[in-house]
Amino acid sequence: MIQITVDEDSCVGCGLCVKDCPMKVFELKDGRSVPLRPEDCMGCLSCHEICPAQALEHRGIYPAKRHYVDIRVCEMLNRVI
Ligand code: SF4
Ligand code: SF4
């Protein structure tokens, strides 16, 4: 399963990840983002790109899950990642 952590010191509570996540993984609690449903994460990393504070970290994302485009692309990514 994908593990998600939010750096509480970096998160500014803007809520962009809450609005952006297609799987509704995050909620705001006490002015900080909390990944309440990490099991629903599909590893798109859209939240990483939108977070202004770079406060998010994901572990356990594999190329075949994120870039399921072509088996040759997956093989190339597995060689370089
Ligand atoms: S990687 Fe995608 S699905 Fe996972 S928490 Fe971020 S926006 Fe949501
Ligand atoms: S986008 Fe980043 S700074 Fe904004 S609430 Fe989410 S984790 Fe916090």
Domains and CATH numbers, the chain: 3-80 (3.30.70.20)
Please list every protein residue whose CB sits less than 6 Å from any atom of ligand 1: 20-23, 25, 41-47, 58
The dihedral sign for the CA sequence 23, 48, 1, 8: negative
The confidence score (pLDDT) of residue 25 equals: 96
Q: Distance, CA 11 to ligand 2 centroid (Å)?
A: 5
Q: What is the DSSP letter of 56?
A: E
pLDDT 10s per residue in the chain (81 long)?
899 999 999 999 999 999 999 999 999 999 999 999 999 999 989 999 999 999 999 999 876 555 445 667 667 777 876
The confidence score (pLDDT) of residue 53 equals: 97
Question: Could you give the angle at the alpha carbon of 35 between the alpha carbons of 30 and 39, nearest 5°?
Answer: 155
